[in-house]
């Protein structure tokens, strides 16, 4: 086969196992030039392993990678760089102490003739890159001041700056608002026009069908299908991924809605949100929708006592509650799952059981001594209920896939048996199957009498799960829609401040 | 709508404010001592301070590089002692050796010690604070072994070497000129040398640095080697200044160096800091040392005061960083809301 007709990258019978567990088994497919190739599959399906092989972070046990028809040994990330293979990682890997420009060129500063760092060239080429991307921060902006969405855009700029031939985007849209996603897609198409191949990994299947030319589905480390995107619908992709249909995704159980449990009035935090009032009832799921930056998480954090409120009052079951500290909130039965819960909610090196028992240690330690058997039993109960894929409660959290880690954090808070649960993007970055598990759990909790405030950027999730939807825009509550009246259009209209929105 | 240029000023303004803060503290200390201690504000005393500070600055430049990578080098006190002894002992037995060759010898021995630290940290994967705590003892032990408990006395040394520290070309002691040179070279490297910029990259996010293809091990190794080499130069300066060197020479010097670096605003968690800051920090420490001695205030108050200064500096840094992040984020959010508004209307 001549180099010209060979695909840009071809994978042949790649296999990789970790300690006897197959992460990848016999996977073969090809990635063409100037195309967007979506890679989908549940967490643990083998996507990350595949990316790591392509970027030289891990080495396959068997099989080979061909670049333009020639077999290549990708020994390390630098070798991948030389082949033009660049990955944008799921968690932005930025350098907070440095400027945007130096972040882009970290480790490969442009040099002047005498070998010094060429700051001027660095700034101007980053400025050009940022203009192309249409972002509104400059090369001299300190990265410490950028939020998650901006950092993601920075990652894209970083990848673009390397003249990549194959750009791997692992969940690039997870933290982006719809507007930003559109901008990213425009950039992706522009890159494709220049002949770059893009491997696009996303759990948002509507994005996959919108941007991809071809789709490869992995399941349990095996290759299920590679097909042109035009031949696949979202529902078909889901079926290939899990063998379940879309209807199973939002299994909302009927819950009896009772008395008001949480009441917030006039909540204000200067410059962030103002005059936010709402009620939450027993057994009710209230969705809090809006674009990234509308102030949803900030409201949740303030109620939980992480950020200070400048004004406003909160009642829990009719009694005044002053949000001062997370501890105080927990004592009143209020639990909050933060957005970057893998960072804030887990001790990665410790076993599942230890992580799970953290919030309920007093109950497991009668007389001040830990009863390991109770701890194990607790862990097993939640592993079963939430279908956490692990060999035993003693397995360290670090060795679990992202989705399963997510479930461990959720279990940890549930173990404390709160009566009010604030979930901040509970399925952010989670695969379809895990999502359904999480949704099922949320729904069951509500049916059992818990009150749930669901902060989510995913409209389908908000619509599918909520009894009532609150919409925020620019720090204000702009709409309240009962389940029957809530629709994708109405939420987006309200969130964007477009005419026709319920005010 | 673009706010380029404004942001850069924020970052540098904050850094300058930080340096200005130490500067004010330094000025206040100088003023206080000038009023309180009659013999403080004299040319002789200031030359004394300059010579003291020269050693701290020289070693602190290397320490800064190590701390930038999220590591620390505690062994510098012993390296100073070891190289000071080697310098003066060699001269005591071989009067004819040219003095620059002695300096080179000290630097080479120091660099070797630094490489030892670097190997323990990069290859041995021992946390730097433990590895260099160990070598602080090891290098001191080596010094005890080579001295056999004997001192080198000033009378054994050639006159040319004894004169070195006393010379004051253009009013500044020669050792201070050396330190100034080291500081300038260090500052230039940290701004313009690609390998030195990598030190900031590594300290800011070690994992991401690795993913970005930065040779983390090599760079950390280099930082330790430079720190060792400059501690070696510090040892040479120590020998020139005190002439008489024994097995406890430079003991506790690592405390002065780390204090200077920390007070100077070099972040102990890596990623930010400058030679200018470390130099100002060293000046402050040396001035306090000098003034307290002149005022005959007890050693207790001196070290108590230095310890307090560290706490204040680190607290101020943490608050600064937090406020900066909040301010920047708030501004970004306001910008985004404004952009959103103009896009929707």
Per-residue pLDDT band for A146 (boundaries 50, 70, 90) equals: confident
The answer on pLDDT for A319 being more than 70 is yes
Average pLDDT of span A150-169: 83
Domains of chain A, CATH where assigned: 9-94+146-243 (3.40.50.300), 245-333+418-503 (3.40.50.300), 347-417 (no CATH)
State the total domains in chain B. 1
How far, rounded to the nearest angstrom, does the alpha carbon of residue A176 sit from its chain's CA centroid? 10
For tokens 């290397």, name the residue. Answer: B62
Q: Determine, yes or no, domain membership for B58.
A: yes
User: How many residues would you count in chain B?
Assistant: 345
Q: What is the share, in percent, of chain A residues with pLDDT greater than 70?
A: 90
CA distance B14 to chain A (A): 11
Instruction: Name chain B contacts of A293, Cβ cutoff 8 Å.
Output: 333, 336-337, 340
Mean pLDDT score of chain A, rounded to an integer? 84
β-strand pairing of A451-455 with A285-289: parallel
Nearest CA in chain A to B333: A293
- Which of A88, A96, A104, A107 is the best substitution to test chain B (most B C-beta atoms within 10 A)? A107
Q: How close A179 comes to chain B (CA, Å)?
A: 10
Mean pLDDT confidence for A279-290: 93
Share of chain A above pLDDT 90, in %: 32
Start-to-end CA span in chain A (Å): 63
CB B273 within 8 A of CB B64: yes
Phi, psi (deg, nearest 5) at residue A269? -130, 115
Query: Any idea what the CATH number is for the domain that residue B284 is in?
Result: 1.10.3470
State which residue of chain A sits closest to B9, comparing Cα positions. Answer: A140
Mutate to test the interface with A, among B6, B334, B340 (most CBs of A within 10 A): B340
Coil, strand, or helix at residue B156? helix
Residue A433 has pLDDT above 50, yes or no: yes
- Strand, coil or helix: what is A423? strand
pLDDT value of residue B342: 66
- Would you say residue A370 has pLDDT above 70? yes
Contact list, A109 vs chain B (CB under 8 Å): 194, 197
pLDDT digits (tens, 9 = 90+) for A382-422: 888 877 888 888 888 888 876 788 788 888 888 888 899 99
Q: Say yes or no to pLDDT of A22 above 70.
A: yes
B208 vs A94, A102, A291: nearest CB: A94
* Min Cα–Cα distance to chain B from A138, Å: 5
Contact assignment for B328 to A78 by CB distance below 8 Å: no
> Residue A501: its pLDDT value, please?
38
Helix and strand counts by DSSP (H, E) for chain B = 13, 0
Identify the residue whose tokens are 């300190």.
Answer: A142
Contact A142 B10 (CB under 8 A): yes
Which is it for strands A62-67 and A9-18: parallel, antiparallel or unpaired?
antiparallel
User: Which of B:191-220 have CB within 8 Å of A?
Assistant: 191-194, 197-198, 200-201, 203-205, 207-214
Neighbours of B15 (CB within 10 A): 17
Rounded to an integer, what distance in angstroms lies between the CA atom of residue A48 and that of residue A367? Answer: 45
Among the residue ranges A174-178, A265-269, B89-93, the one predicted with the least confidence is: A174-178
Tokens of B86: 């080697």
Give the model's pLDDT for residue B12: 62
List the Cα angle B117/B121/B124 in 5-degree steps.
Answer: 110
Most confident of A243-247, A283-287, A350-354: A283-287
Q: What is the pLDDT of residues B40-75, one digit of tens each?
A: 889 889 998 999 999 999 999 999 999 999 999 999
Residue of A nearest to B195 (CA): A107
Indicate whether B1 pLDDT > 50: no
- Residue B3 has a pLDDT of 40
Cβ of B332 within 8 Å of Cβ of A147? The answer is: yes
> Is the pLDDT confidence value at A21 over 80?
no
* pLDDT band per the 50, 70, 90 thresholds, residue B4: very low
Q: Is B344 exposed, middle or buried (0-12, 13-18, 19+ CB in 10 A)?
A: exposed
Q: C-alpha distances in angstroms, B66 versus A156, B57, B121? A: 31, 14, 11
Q: Give me the pLDDT at residue A500, please.
A: 45
In terms of Cα–Cα distance, which of A217, A170, A211, A215 is closest to A191? A211
Q: Give the separation between CA B303 and CA B314, rounded to whole angstroms.
A: 17
> A245 pLDDT exceeds 60?
no
Q: Give the pLDDT of residue A191.
A: 83
Arithmetic mean of pLDDT over chain B: 89
* pLDDT reading at A177 higher than 80: no
Kindly report the number of other CB atoms within 10 A of residue B259's CB atom. 23
State how far residue B309 is from chain A, nearest Cα, in angstroms. 24
Residue A180 or A186, more confident: A186
Of B270, B330, B335, the CB nearest to A271: B330
What ranges in B69-173 are assigned the alpha helix state H? 76-93, 99-122, 128-147, 159-164
Q: Which residue in A has a C-alpha nearest to residue B266's C-alpha? A: A97
Q: Mean pLDDT over residues A226-230, rounded?
A: 92
Contacts of A116 in chain B (CB under 8 A): 192-194
Q: Of A123-132, A270-279, A328-337, B319-328, which gets the smallest average pLDDT?
A: B319-328
Domain limits for position B253: 6-344
Question: What are the tens digits of pLDDT across the range B14-33?
Answer: 667 777 888 888 899 899 88
Interface mutation vs chain A, best among B68, B197, B343, most A CBs within 10 Å? B197
B329-341 average pLDDT score: 70
Q: How far is CA A428 from the centre of its chain?
A: 3
Quick check: A492 and A459 in contact, CB under 8 A?
Answer: yes
Distance CA A161, CA A105 (A): 8
Q: What whole-number distance in Å separates Cα of residue B61 and Cα of residue B68? A: 11
Inter-chain touch A145–B331, beta carbons under 8 Å: yes
**Per-residue confidence (pLDDT) for residue B7, from 0 to 100:** 45
d(CA A49, CA A12): 15
- pLDDT at residue A432, as a whole number: 64
Which pLDDT tens digit goes with each residue over B258-306? 999 999 989 888 888 999 999 999 999 888 888 888 888 888 888 888 8
Residue B192's pLDDT is: 94
Task: Return the top range by mean pLDDT from A1-5, A32-36, A55-59, A106-110.
Answer: A32-36
Q: What is the pLDDT of residues B93-144, one digit of tens each?
A: 998 899 999 999 999 999 999 999 999 999 999 999 999 999 999 999 999 9
Closest approach of A399 to chain B, Cα-based (Å): 18
To the nearest whole Å, the CA of A146 is away from the closest chain B CA by 6
pLDDT band at B6 (very low <50, low <70, confident <90, very high): very low
Question: Which residue from B minimizes the CA distance to A82?
Answer: B213
Residue B337 lies in a domain: yes
For the record, the structure tokens of A283 come out as 């057994």
Q: Can you tell me the distance from the alpha carbon of A332 to that of B55, in angstroms, rounded to the nearest whole number?
A: 58
Chain A residues in contact with B344 by the CB 8 A cut-off are 496-498
Question: For residues A210 and A213, what is the distance between their CA atoms, to the nearest angstrom?
Answer: 9
Residue A59 carries which DSSP code? -
pLDDT value at position A338? Answer: 79
B169 touches chain A (CB under 8 A): no
Confidence band for A92, pLDDT divided at 50, 70 and 90: low
What pLDDT, on the 0 to 100 scale, is given for residue B135?
Answer: 97
Mutate which: A48, A82, A137, A140, vs B, most B CBs within 10 A:
A140
Q: Is residue B226 part of a domain?
A: yes
Residue B182 lies in a domain: yes
Higher pLDDT, A180 or A90: A180
Half-sphere CA count of A494, side-chain side, radius 13 A: 25
Residue among B228, B179, B171 at smallest CA distance from B52: B179
Q: Residue B1 domain-assigned? A: no
Residues belonging to chain A with any Cβ–Cβ distance to chain B shorter than 8 Å: 77-78, 81, 89, 93-99, 102, 106-109, 111, 115-117, 127, 136-142, 144-147, 150, 179, 271-272, 291, 293, 474-475, 496-498
| A179 contact residues in B (CB cutoff 8 A) | 340, 343
Is A503 a residue whose pLDDT tops 50? no
Q: Does residue B50 form part of some domain?
A: yes
Q: How many CB atoms lie within 10 A of CB B187?
A: 18
The pTM of this model reads 0.71
Smallest CA–CA distance from A55 into chain B, residue = B211
Residue A89's contacts (CB-CB under 8 Å, 6 or more residues apart) are A155, A170, B211
Nearest by CB to residue A107, choosing from B5, B198, B270, is: B198
């Amino acid at each position: 086969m001549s180099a010209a007709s060979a695909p840009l990258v071809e994978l042949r019978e790649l296999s990789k196992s970790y300690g006897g567990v197959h992460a990848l088994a016999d996977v073969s497919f090809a990635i063409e030039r100037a195309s967007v190739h979506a890679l989908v599959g549940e967490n643990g399906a083998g996507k990350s392993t595949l990316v790591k092989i392509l970027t030289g972070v891990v080495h396959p046990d068997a099989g080979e990678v061909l670049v333009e028809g020639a077999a290549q040994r990708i020994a390390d990330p630098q070798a991948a760089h030389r082949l033009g293979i660049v990955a944008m990682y799921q968690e932005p890997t930025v350098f907070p102490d440095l400027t945007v420009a130096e972040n882009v060129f970290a480790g490969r500063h442009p040099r002047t003739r005498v070998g010094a760092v060429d700051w001027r060239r660095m700034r101007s080429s980053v400025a050009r890159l940022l203009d192309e991307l249409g972002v509104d921060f400059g090369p001299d902006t300190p990265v410490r001041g950028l939020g998650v969405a901006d950092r993601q855009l920075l990652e894209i700029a970083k990848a673009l700056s390397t003249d990549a031939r194959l750009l791997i985007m692992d969940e690039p849209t997870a933290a982006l608002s719809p507007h930003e996603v559109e901008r990213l897609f425009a950039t992706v198409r522009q890159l494709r026009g220049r002949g770059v191949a893009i491997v696009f990994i996303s759990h948002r299947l509507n994005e996959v069908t919108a941007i991809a030319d071809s789709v490869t589905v992995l399941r349990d480390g095996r290759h299920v299908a590679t097909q042109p995107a035009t031949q696949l619908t979202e529902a078909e992709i889901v079926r290939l991924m899990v063998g379940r249909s879309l209807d199973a995704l939002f299994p909302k159980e009927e819950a009896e809605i009772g008395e008001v449990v949480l009441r917030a009035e006039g909540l204000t935090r200067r410059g962030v949100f103002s005059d936010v009032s709402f009620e939450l009832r027993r057994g009710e799921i209230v969705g809090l929708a809006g674009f990234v930056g509308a102030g949803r998480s900030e409201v949740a954090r303030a109620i939980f006592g992480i950020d200070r409120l400048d004004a406003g009052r909160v009642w829990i079951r009719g009694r005044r509650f002053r949000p001062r500290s997370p501890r105080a909130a927990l004592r009143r039965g209020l639990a909050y799952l933060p957005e970057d819960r893998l960072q804030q909610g887990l001790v990665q090196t410790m076993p599942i059981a230890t992580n799970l028992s953290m919030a309920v240690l007093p109950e497991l330690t009668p007389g001040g001594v830990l009863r390991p058997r109770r701890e194990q039993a607790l862990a097993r109960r939640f592993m079963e209920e939430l279908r956490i894929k692990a060999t035993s409660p003693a397995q360290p959290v670090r060795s679990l896939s992202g989705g399963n880690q997510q479930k461990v954090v959720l279990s940890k808070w549930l173990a404390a048996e709160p009566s009010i649960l604030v979930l901040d993007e509970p399925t952010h970055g989670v695969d379809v199957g895990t999502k359904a598990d999480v949704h099922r759990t949320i729904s069951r909790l509500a049916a059992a009498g818990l009150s749930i405030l669901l902060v989510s950027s995913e409209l389908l999730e908000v619509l599918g799960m909520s009894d009532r939807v609150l919409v925020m825009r620019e720090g204000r509550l702009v709409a309240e829609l009962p389940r029957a009246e809530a629709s994708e259009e109405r939420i987006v209209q309200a969130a964007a401040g477009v005419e026709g929105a319920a005010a | 709508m673009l706010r380029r240029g404004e942001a850069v000023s924020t970052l540098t303004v904050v850094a300058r404010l930080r340096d200005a803060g130490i500067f004010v503290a330094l000025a206040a200390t100088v003023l206080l001592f000038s009023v309180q201690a009659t013999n403080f504000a004299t040319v002789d005393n200031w030359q004394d301070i300059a010579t003291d500070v020269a050693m701290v600055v020289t070693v602190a430049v290397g320490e800064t590089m190590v701390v930038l990578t999220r590591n620390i080098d505690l062994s510098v006190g012993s390296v100073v002692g070891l190289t000071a002894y080697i310098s003066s002992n060699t001269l005591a037995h071989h009067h004819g050796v040219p003095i620059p060759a002695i300096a080179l010898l000290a630097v080479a021995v120091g660099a070797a010690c630094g490489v030892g630290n670097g190997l323990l940290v990069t290859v041995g994967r021992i946390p730097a604070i433990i590895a260099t705590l160990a070598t602080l003892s090891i290098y001191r032990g080596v010094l005890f072994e080579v001295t056999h408990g004997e001192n080198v006395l000033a009378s054994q040394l050639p006159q040319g070497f004894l004169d070195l520290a006393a010379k004051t070309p253009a009013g500044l002691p020669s050792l201070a000129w050396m330190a100034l040179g080291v500081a300038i070279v260090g500052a230039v490297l940290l701004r313009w040398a690609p390998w030195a910029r990598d030190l900031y990259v590594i300290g800011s996010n070690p994992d991401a640095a690795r993913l970005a293809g930065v040779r983390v091990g090599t760079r950390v190794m280099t930082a330790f080697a430079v720190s060792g080499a400059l501690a070696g130069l510090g040892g040479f300066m120590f020998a020139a200044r005190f002439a008489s060197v024994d097995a406890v020479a430079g003991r506790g010097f690592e405390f002065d160096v780390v204090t200077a670096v920390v007070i100077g605003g070099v972040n102990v968690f890596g990623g930010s800091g400058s030679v200018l800051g470390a130099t100002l920090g060293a000046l402050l420490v040396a001035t306090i040392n000098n003034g307290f001695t002149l005022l005959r205030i007890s050693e207790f108050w001196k070290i108590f005061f230095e310890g307090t200064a560290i706490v204040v500096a680190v607290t101020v840094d943490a608050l600064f960083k937090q406020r900066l992040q909040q301010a920047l984020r708030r501004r970004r959010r306001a910008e985004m809301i404004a952009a959103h508004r103009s896009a929707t209307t």
